Structure 1
Amino acid sequence: MRPETRKNEPSLFARLARRISLVLGIGAALLVTAAWYYAETAANKAYDRLLVGAALQMAESLSVEDGTLTVRLPTSAFELLGLAERDRIFYRVIDTHGQTLTGYDDLQSPTPLDADNDVSSVEEGIYKGEPVRIARATRVLADPAVSGQAYVIVAQTNEARSALTRELTLRATILVFIMSLLAFVGAMFAIRYALQPVERLGAAVRRRDPHDLTPVSVDVPRELDPFVGSINHFMGRLNERVDLLQRFIADAAHQIRTPLTALSAQIDLLGADKLDKAGRQHYERVRERTGELARLTNQLLSHAMVIHRADSVQLEPISLVDVARRAYRAAIPVTVDPDIVISFEAPGDRPFVLGDAVSLREAIVNVIDNALRHGADQRLEVRVRANDTHAFVEVEDDGPGIPPEGWEKATQRFATSKSHEGSSGLGFAIAQEVASAHGGTLGFRARDERGFTVVLTLPLFREEAK
């Protein structure tokens, strides 16, 4: 039976998957942020070059005619700026005296006009309530009529830049998402492959026979060596405990049964012939209590042995007829009442079951003993039969039997169906546990004209021994 796993404890695979997804998520967020930064930088550089080129073309168009500074704005400059269809363009041409030749009078450069500034540098600014990028070009005039520095200021809104930044960022985000997804899927396959030794170790432990306490020998990575060593150390200690328990049961059976048998013999030797009436009553009570103590002790030891063997003995194909016959011989005492007719019936073809012969013999002995002590009046029959799927051991007596409402209670420990008697012990409880350990059941058949029947049902072994 497999142990139940704690539902609130996630698997190692789930933990690794969560941590890897967290790392990949943080990495993807950082990459998307970097992509946005580089996309914005790339968009600014691209449109800034157009803006600077337009400013330089406007500055080159300045000329002195008839002693007057004139400007003929080139169409190509506006064509360059027209590549950004969404943006608006603002410009201003300033003569050597600081007067506006053409353009917007209120357009200002963020830095003073006479400050040293690289012609390729573009600055951020605000014009008419909108963020703009501003480029400035300087034209030095050395004409006798007009000399000094003239300036061209060109500003452009940021809509096209922002659109290009968003487009580049979106493409980079899609690429990062696809790569992260592929990395996550690949990591999951890698984790599955890396955890295969753990699954192999678990499968090897699950497949082991419950009675096999030898060290586990499975090829595992070095990281799992301490775990395998702990399992083997635990199994070694468990094997020692099992051996100690076996010796204890054997010693207890010998040390307890021997004095009880001697005590019963001594009581029988005393006799009741020389005792008065009161003494004979006390004598009978002592003998009854001694017999009950002996039976209960035997049943307790038998119960302990059955429990132990259910967990430590490997089942094997056995003949149910042979087991039932040995149980029949062991359960029928030599001093049985000669007025009781006792019989044993078995089929010619011996049905085989997969089981433990010792435990099954104890179960059948307890059922027969219970029938002799509490049921049989003049007849007791033990039968073995089988059908296509199951084998049956039936113990039938002509006693009053157990009423149907008491069947469930009868298989409980220390339960009795007779209110005037003490505890009936563990007879049916032992038989019930043995039947369950063998995949069978212990049932009852209501009394009919023949009598009351206890039925031990076991699955039939498919491949009969030759």
Structure 2
Amino acid sequence: MARREPSLFSRLIVLISLVLLAGAAALTTAAWYYAREAANDAYDRLLVGAAYQMAEALNVQGGTLTVELPVSAFELLASSERDRIFYKVVDPGGRTLTGYADLVTPESDAPAMASPAVLDGRFKGVDVRMTKVGRYFSDPSVQGRVDVVVAQTTEARTALARELTLRAVALVIAMSALALGGAVFAIRYALRPIGRVGAVLRDRDPHDVTLITVSTPRELRPFVSATNEFITRLKSRMDLMQQFIADAAHQIRTPLTALKAQLQLLSRQPMEPQALQYLTRVQERVDQLSRLAGQLLSHAMVNHRAGAVPLEPVDVVEIVRHAIREAVPEALDRDVLTSLELPPVPVTIAGDAISLKEAVKNVVDNAIRHGAPTQLTLRVRQELKTVEIEVEDDGPGIPPELWPQVTERFGTPSPDGSGLGLSIAADVLAAHGGSLSFRHADENGFAVIMSLPSETGPNS
């Protein structure tokens, strides 16, 4: 048992899903990075602003450096309820005037009142962001640089970065879902030509070996071209086979005709009863062989024309007239009364006149040889969407249980027949989009009905 391969649609969806997943992961990482940078930038500005306000509040009064921290500086940093604030003021001598003496002073060479750096650090076991702002004093009692160090915990900025990231991730997920849905629709639409090609091949008649002409995208052209090349090779093999059958049947018919003539001459000579009996058997076998050769030739011709000859408007009434004229000698030999019930006006359909005539001839020949003891009737009826050719005889007919078999090649050969006549008719009707059916007219009547579409056939 062959291993079942996943569909092309499933493969494409899985690959696109993996690409979207990798893209979503990359975008999520980038979103977290940019959200953290944005949150740090926003809170760092507040942190630096508060440090500047504290530095501006330093004064020298009475020869002493005084520190009066403005409330506005703490209010600026207090916009986040989650964070804690740490600070200290260091005089030029390195002593802590106020604040947390153990707060680490960042190493920074930035000039006083310039844009200070904001660094990461840890204080009292928590992560903090800290900055240092310096202010120079030239008072006789206080000379040098006074540093203001301010630190803030990172809970608020982390929460802001997380919120921004979640919003970005939600947007990424929504866009990925839309992209995946669009990809599903686009892939299904793009794969429709494959289904169209498959439908053309699946619905094609087994005898149809014409090339595929369905419109396909550029990517499917190699597949269609390879299929057409295979069809071309198959048609070539089928043509060779049909030609071989036709040639063989034709070559056999010539010596058989001569043999029949010799047998007829021989039968006129006086001979013993037993020899005459043997001669009669030989004549019967030669007749069977001649009929088989004719039917093989007819079958090869019909199969060759099916799907290869375009259907044209033909008159069913004229086809039936020509077919019965060619079958009349058989009927006369048997003293079978043949009658026609035809409409007074032409009945036109799209078909192949030669193939249809062969079909009618084979049905009539089958009825004369195996059915009609004394009477044969041909009718042509035009219905709403179909045209029916009915061949009725007064024989016992075919048992219903054998109806499915008699339309198969050599399905139910009789002792004096080949089993090809009804098969040829069924093939011709199938090529025209029609069908072959049977019915018992009464106790001593049987009819073969050939139904054809009254509109343009499938191969027109």
State the TM bucket, normalised to the shorter chain.
Answer: 0.7 to 0.9
Q: What's the offset of the Cα at 1:367?
A: 0.9
Determine which of 246, 263, 266 is the counterpart of 1:267.
263
Are 2:306 and 1:310 equivalent residues in the alignment?
A: yes
SS in 1 for 2:373: coil
Task: Supply the distance in 1 between the matched residues of 2:447 and 2:229 (Cα, whole angstroms).
Answer: 49
In the superposition, relative to structure 1, how do residues 184 and 361 fare at CA in structure 2: closer, same or farther (>3 Å)?
same
In the superposition, relative to structure 1, how do residues 46 and 230 fare at CA in structure 2: closer, same or farther (>3 Å)?
same
TM-score (norm 2): 0.76
In the superposition, relative to structure 1, how do residues 214 and 428 fare at CA in structure 2: closer, same or farther (>3 Å)?
closer
SS in 1 for 2:333: coil
- After superposition, the CA RMSD in angstroms is 4.6
Match of 1:455 in 2: 449
In the superposition, relative to structure 1, how do residues 244 and 189 fare at CA in structure 2: closer, same or farther (>3 Å)?
same
The residue type equivalent to 2:426 in the other structure is: Q
Are 2:406 and 1:435 equivalent residues in the alignment?
A: no
SS in 1 for 2:329: coil
Q: What's the offset of the Cα at 1:173?
A: 5.8
Match of 2:204 in 1: none
Residues 211, 313 of structure 1: 8 Å contact kept: no
Q: Give unpaired runs (5+ residues) of structure 1.
A: 1-5
Determine which of 367, 371, 393 is the counterpart of 1:371.
367
Task: Supply the distance in 2 between the matched residues of 1:408 and 1:236 (Cα, whole angstroms).
Answer: 32
Q: What's the offset of the Cα at 1:55?
A: 1.9
Which digits, 9 at most, give the CA deviation of each residue in 1:11-53, with x for residues without a partner?
7xx9888877866765565455434423322332232122122
Are 2:428 and 1:414 equivalent residues in the alignment?
A: no
Residues 312, 352 of structure 2: 8 Å contact kept: yes
Determine which of 411, 425, 447 is the counterpart of 2:419.
425
Residues 250, 293 of structure 2: 8 Å contact kept: no
Q: What's the offset of the Cα at 1:319?
A: 1.3
Instruction: Name whichever of 130-139 and 15-24 sits farther off.
Output: 15-24
The residue type equivalent to 1:289 in the other structure is: R
Task: Supply the distance in 2 between the matched residues of 1:190 and 1:394 (Cα, whole angstroms).
Answer: 53
Task: Supply the distance in 1 between the matched residues of 2:257 and 2:281 (Cα, whole angstroms).
Answer: 17
In the superposition, relative to structure 1, how do residues 217 and 149 fare at CA in structure 2: closer, same or farther (>3 Å)?
closer
Instruction: Name whichever of 16-25 and 301-310 sits farther off.
Output: 16-25
1:373-388 aligned within 5 A: 373-388=369-384
SS in 2 for 1:383: strand
SS in 2 for 1:136: strand
1:217-296 aligned within 5 A: 251-271=247-267, 275-276=271-272, 278-296=274-292
In the superposition, relative to structure 1, how do residues 408 and 239 fare at CA in structure 2: closer, same or farther (>3 Å)?
closer
1:326-345 aligned within 5 A: 326-333=322-329, 336-337=332-333, 339-345=335-341
In the superposition, relative to structure 1, how do residues 461 and 140 fare at CA in structure 2: closer, same or farther (>3 Å)?
closer
Q: What's the offset of the Cα at 1:369?
A: 0.9
Q: What's the offset of the Cα at 1:438?
A: 1.8
1:167-186 aligned within 5 A: 168-169=164-165
Match of 2:126 in 1: 130
The residue type equivalent to 1:286 in the other structure is: V
Determine which of 342, 350, 358 is the counterpart of 2:346.
350
Determine which of 71, 76, 81 is the counterpart of 2:77.
81
Q: What's the offset of the Cα at 1:300?
A: 2.0
Question: Could you tell me the percent identity over the aligned residues?
Answer: 54
Residues 402, 417 of structure 1: 8 Å contact kept: no
The residue type equivalent to 1:357 in the other structure is: A
Match of 2:50 in 1: 54
Residues 86, 150 of structure 2: 8 Å contact kept: yes
Task: Supply the distance in 1 between the matched residues of 2:432 and 2:175 (Cα, whole angstroms).
Answer: 56
Task: Supply the distance in 1 between the matched residues of 2:23 and 2:144 (Cα, whole angstroms).
Answer: 55
Count of residues in correspondence between the two structures? 442
Residues 416, 422 of structure 1: 8 Å contact kept: no
The residue type equivalent to 2:321 in the other structure is: R
In the superposition, relative to structure 1, how do residues 155 and 182 fare at CA in structure 2: closer, same or farther (>3 Å)?
same
Q: What's the offset of the Cα at 1:63?
A: 3.8
Residues 242, 300 of structure 2: 8 Å contact kept: no
Match of 1:90 in 2: 86
In the superposition, relative to structure 1, how do residues 374 and 246 fare at CA in structure 2: closer, same or farther (>3 Å)?
closer
Residues 243, 300 of structure 2: 8 Å contact kept: no
The residue type equivalent to 1:435 in the other structure is: L
Q: What's the offset of the Cα at 1:396?
A: 1.7
In the superposition, relative to structure 1, how do residues 233 and 373 fare at CA in structure 2: closer, same or farther (>3 Å)?
closer
Q: What's the offset of the Cα at 1:368?
A: 1.0
